[in-house]
Structure 1
């Protein structure tokens, strides 16, 4: 027996190397990888601590937790466990099967935030894209009001959804305030985009799902994030605007916050954010979707790639031009505690209040102004300029945020007309007459919808800050 134990055996060389490889992996996983992981974690924690010193809203520990730990915390939450039991009774499946389903939903929803990915790649990429594609303008912001928000409160940026550039633009402009956590739809669940978005702190939602268990898991994740101070950014409309107007709020995510969050430990403060563009890159796709009533947009990954390659070629050949202005207005903060105290804390009332705040702060830009003038019958440069001149004072008196190019109505008119001519929506003849192209009306209506067309002085919006034009 002893001789057999110390005897010699013959192995193929490939098997020897395979055994050696498994031994090396086992050694590394037990003795090498844990110290390296600890070292990297400590380094990341020190980097985040330094980063938090310059952020207005520090990154909360909940956001920095390992994804596996967050999933475990979510699926073993008492409310989720109760939802699993209810789902098992309702559907007749075993509780362990229902629990596995809830775990699958949690793995789909929970992000894996990386501070290095967000602040080294995402912020720089957002800054580059925003500045290369648009002249970015911060049209209105009340810094004193924002600075006065309770440091312990959870901030939720609520925005109108004008373009997929909204994510990029707001990420760039909010870079010095905090790391934002977005809810993104099914369109983003494409590798490798999904991995990148998870690393940036985005969480995925099935907007059309009516599965009660899924909704309970999603609601509880949102509530845990809010209760732990994670700064959120959301689009209450639930989708891109198809007609250029700010739509009504969908109450899904908003109801999870308003109805399910305990305000005894920390307040929730909403910051209305209004966005507008001289050029919405996907405008024709949105207009077509609005015409057909089908939100399954015909745009695809290949379409977007082709657009990006064409733009890069124009940039290489020095023919690329920016798409006009991209403007943002930050409204006055809205405290959920104060709304509840004033009997306006019901979810529908909160949604209506926030959407009104967003509407009244949408920046009025050159292209929307010129588009509105053309639709109203102006057919020359001078007529468009006079149309704008007659309405800007009323808009400013009504506290709408008007952006004039370098403070000049003349230059604003030139900028708007030039952009429409560049897109071949308008042709200027030798006698100065402006002629609309055959298919321009729907595009002009899309942009004009963001400019108040009735006499703004007769409107009575909620009190707002003084408009800014530069």
Structure 2
């Protein structure tokens, strides 16, 4: 008859153990946090000795930044308006401001960035690609001039989810980068890792006015605090290989209160292109990456599925290498000098007029990005084949046309590019002549569109 009593004792032991575990965790977590903060402080000192200065804003604790947001006069005023318009109390509106602040503001950790993230970025980049750095006008100008009163913003075309990883690897000896990550990056456990590396989270296309105001103030605080950021003006990955029309939301946030007397913003154009984009299939599927895999999983599952598919295909070709990844840096564009040349005071314009001026600047930035994209062989071969008047093209003629499309003197391996296209079954080889493979036209056109001549 001891069964029920033994069962109750078992449950009691389990409850005690769980309670003890919670208490232990409560004591352990602060200790773990203290340990990593100590390690992070040592890393900050080390990178300073190497000449990398991290702005105070980047090293400010997350809780402090959230407190600044929730006590910001502009946001308090915005919350009052929001409360009146939505018939809610001020307390509820301010609670939403705090919730949005906690969602947006990152928790940068120097140890995580320089000891985990950067080595991982280097390993991924070098394992997958032969990295080529093309024009470096922007970096040369930054090296030659000390811009103590300027925030640096790298403006980059968005070809792959590897873009940021690649740029972080290339800039590791210069600075720590921050960028706006979409909702996909907020999922556990990615959120902790990506937030710890300094990324802030953005809801794409949010219709919540209060959320947009909180995001706007954080972006403005980041610019005023000298945070080095990466900004993708296209607002998303290219779906056809061409540069997309720029979005002006984040750019407008940066410029709304821009005061050239207080400081400058240097926009550094960055152009990137690949022989083989890791998630290209997901970009071209019906519905885009958001369609997921067979309607499930969303963009994360879609991109992951495409990556696995491409890596397995590359492995059949002899390894996991995906050809070249080329990055170019254009000459920086000073917001102060640009505003002076156009006689524009962004901070004094009404919203409609300011948005129009921001659009003009955004289009100019896209032109400078386009001019910074280095040539890579696969897109040039794809373009040469698609533009050929003949149905089939002899090998020598095809490679000659591809070379003529590139205005760069950089040595590109056009023969390897052709082998890659054949191996991927995007191009058919028949008796020494080549033509687009049936079913591969869309992907071939994607790479042809990305060719920069």
1:161-200 aligned at under 5 Å gives the runs 161-200=158-197
Once residues 190 and 42 of structure 1 are traced to their aligned partners in structure 2, the CA distance between those partners, rounded to angstroms, is 27
* Counterpart position of 1:358: 369
* Counterpart position of 1:138: 133
Compare CA radii of gyration and give the structure with the larger one: 1
* Counterpart position of 2:427: 426
Once residues 316 and 371 of structure 1 are traced to their aligned partners in structure 2, the CA distance between those partners, rounded to angstroms, is 22
1:301-450 aligned at under 5 Å gives the runs 301-302=300-301, 319-343=318-342, 346-377=357-388, 379-392=393-406, 395-396=407-408, 403-405=410-412, 412-429=413-430, 431-450=431-450
The Cα shift of 1:388 comes to: 2.6
Structure 1: where are the runs of 5+ without partners? 1-12, 397-401, 406-411, 457-470
Q: 2:65 aligns with which of 70, 82, 85?
A: 70
CA contact (8 A) 1:276 1:328 kept: yes
Once residues 442 and 359 of structure 1 are traced to their aligned partners in structure 2, the CA distance between those partners, rounded to angstroms, is 22
The Cα shift of 1:254 comes to: 0.5
1:298 correspondence with 2:292: yes
The Cα shift of 1:274 comes to: 0.4
The alignment covers a number of residue pairs equal to: 420
Measured against aligned partners, the alpha-carbon deviations of 1:310-359 in whole angstroms (never above 9, x if no partner) come to 77778999932411110000111111111111117531222111111001
TM-score, normalised to structure 1's length? 0.81
1:85 correspondence with 2:80: yes
Choose 333-342 or 437-446, whichever is displaced more. Answer: 437-446
Structure 1 residues 421 and 149 mapped into 2: Cα distance closer, same or farther (>3 Å)?
farther
Structure 1 residues 100 and 449 mapped into 2: Cα distance closer, same or farther (>3 Å)?
same
1:248-327 aligned at under 5 Å gives the runs 248-289=245-286, 296-299=290-293, 300=297, 301-302=300-301, 319-327=318-326
CA contact (8 A) 2:311 2:320 kept: no
Q: 2:91 aligns with which of 96, 106, 109?
A: 96
The Cα shift of 1:440 comes to: 1.9
Structure 1 residues 131 and 75 mapped into 2: Cα distance closer, same or farther (>3 Å)?
same
* Counterpart position of 2:354: none
CA contact (8 A) 2:70 2:98 kept: yes
Once residues 35 and 117 of structure 2 are traced to their aligned partners in structure 1, the CA distance between those partners, rounded to angstroms, is 24
The Cα shift of 1:266 comes to: 2.3
